[in-house]
Every structure is written in C-alpha cells, then in structure tokens.
Structure 1
C-alpha cells in the first residue's frame, strides 16, 4: 500500500423498493420515510429514499473487499446527500498517506450523476 493507491471501486445495483425493504428488515430500521411513499410525500419528498446507513454499509464493504476486517482501525463518514430510489451508488477510495504501518484512506459514495452522498475516511493496517 502506498500513497495514491486507488481502491477497486464497488459498483452497486440500482436501489429498489425491495432493496429498502430488505435492508429495513435486516437492520431493524423501519423508518417510514424509507419504505412508505405516503409518509415520504408528507415529508416533502417525491418518493422514498435509501437509509444513510445502507450507504455506510456499502462503503464498509468497499473496505473489507480491500483489507480483512481485522485490519480496519477506524472508519467514519459524513452524510452529504440522500440516495434516491433507482440511484446506482459507486463506492471509491484512495490512500492519502501511509505512516507507521497505517494507511489513511479517503472514501466516498457517489451516484451516476456525480452527487456525493457519503464522504468518509478510514485507517487500516498496511
């Protein structure tokens, strides 16, 4: 691992209502803004949208595709935008620094229109 290395991107399938229902069931997060069209519309949205933690889980998968889970030392994110229904997220990452056996990564989830929905960073054992 060296500064400037780019992680293999993780391209995900389109976010569907089924995706949201399955995630809600698996996570226990049944917030109706993510699964009930009427509630989403009453909140001013055109439709339901993905759970932020679903995007965070996808980004976690990017990391564990790169290194074994036991090598992840820190992982944090900032939610930047919603992921609408039918969006196709792509997770990316870049090594920004390697020091004292630790690689520092900038990571993100981006939609096909260029919208960044999640920005984060991680430190992994190099």
Structure 2
C-alpha cells in the first residue's frame, strides 16, 4: 500500500509534526554510521582516543543527528520536495542518549501555482535539553488533482494562497514621534492671543480710591 502523500491544502500554520523518537544511541550504531558515511573520525569510534582529548567517551557525529531530524521531515512531508534544510548544533549526543525530533509549521504560501511551507525543527535528548535546532522549506502540490494535472503535462492549479505566518511581525525601524500632550480647552473660554496675553501683563494694578 502506497504511503499517503501530503498536499498543501492540508497544511496548517501552527501544526506540529508527529514527534520522532529514536532508540538510544550506542557504539554499534556509531561504528555502522562511520562505515556508511565514510567518516572515520576516531573521536566517534575510538574510546581511548576520545578520552585522550578530554572527552568522557566517544560521541555521535553531528551529521547523524542531523539525519534523524531530516527523517522527521521526510516521514511527515511525503511527496514534497525539500527546498532548503539547515541546522545548528547545540549539545553533544553521547552513547545512551535518546533523541526526540520535533517540528511545527511556521509559514505557508503560494506563488503562481507553486506552494510552499516553512518548518521550525529541533531535537532534544531524554532530559529535554536542546541538542539541535534547524529549519526547512518544502514545496508541495496543492492537491491530488493538481499533482495529476502537472504529471500529465498540464498547467498547475492556481488558487489564492497569501502568506500565513505565526512569526511575530518585525519591530519598526524607529519609534513613532510623540507629540507633546495638549490640555483640552475649557468649554466657553476663549484662548488669549499672544498680543492679548502681552497686554494683560502690562496692565498695572488699580489704585484704591480715597475719595469719599
């Protein structure tokens, strides 16, 4: 039975990818990865060498953990094209660590018959500590109908798909200018003009009359 494909019409911003939990990393896996990848750096497979560098033991290559996170994307985005994938390593993964890969949809949009989604990705160990963070962009067919049309040589199905995002808007480059507060005028009282104000200041105090 063929795996169900993911189409753009089913993708929702904020949707969480099903978590992928890998079995605890062990030294046999590290040796197998070295043989499969051709990366025979002894710090990943030679206990004595790793300890000579001050490490408590051998540890997992970063690319292995990056592959775990990539599997999360490929398992969820079946039938999609991976346009971009990048990661940043945060913490070493040691033998015995369990890696849990997670992700969520942060953006989706369409552009003249092409449809995209942006993913926020990360991996944690069994303590909940972040070991890897990354992101990916995928391109999808709009729907099964759209896929069938394009595979038969017809134009794609084009529908409005404005950009949706859960990312906060960028802060303004400068704060808006604040005007000084002005007291509200009192009803029925005419505000004196500058000339009238000057004249009022010049009026001397009236002398008391002494005439009886």
2:134 to 116, 120, 123: 120
2:87 to 77, 95, 100: 77
Give 1:16's aligned residue. Answer: 26
- Corresponding residue SS for 1:64: helix
Structure 1 Cα separation of the partners of residues 36 and 118 of structure 2:
30
Structure 2 Cα separation of the partners of residues 109 and 34 of structure 1:
20
1:109 to 117, 123, 126: 123
Q: CA RMSD in A?
A: 1.1
1:45 is displaced (CA, Å) by 0.7
Distance change (3 Å), C-alpha of 1:8 and 1:115: same
User: Which structure has the larger Rg?
Assistant: 2
1:57 is displaced (CA, Å) by 0.7
- Corresponding residue SS for 2:17: coil
- Corresponding residue SS for 2:74: helix
Larger strand fraction of residues: 1
Matches within 5 A, 1:19-58: 19-58=29-68
Answering whether residue 107 of structure 2 is matched by residue 93 of structure 1, we say no
Structure 2 Cα separation of the partners of residues 15 and 93 of structure 1:
21
Structure 2 Cα separation of the partners of residues 13 and 47 of structure 1:
19
TM-score (ref. length: structure 2): 0.58
Distance change (3 Å), C-alpha of 1:69 and 1:41: farther
Structure 1 Cα separation of the partners of residues 128 and 101 of structure 2:
12
Larger helix fraction of residues: 1
- Corresponding residue SS for 1:106: strand
Give 2:76's aligned residue. Answer: 66
Structure scoring higher RCO (CA < 8 A, sep ≥ 6) equals 1
Runs of 4+ more than 4 Å apart: none
- Structure 2 unaligned regions, length at least 5: 1-10, 141-212
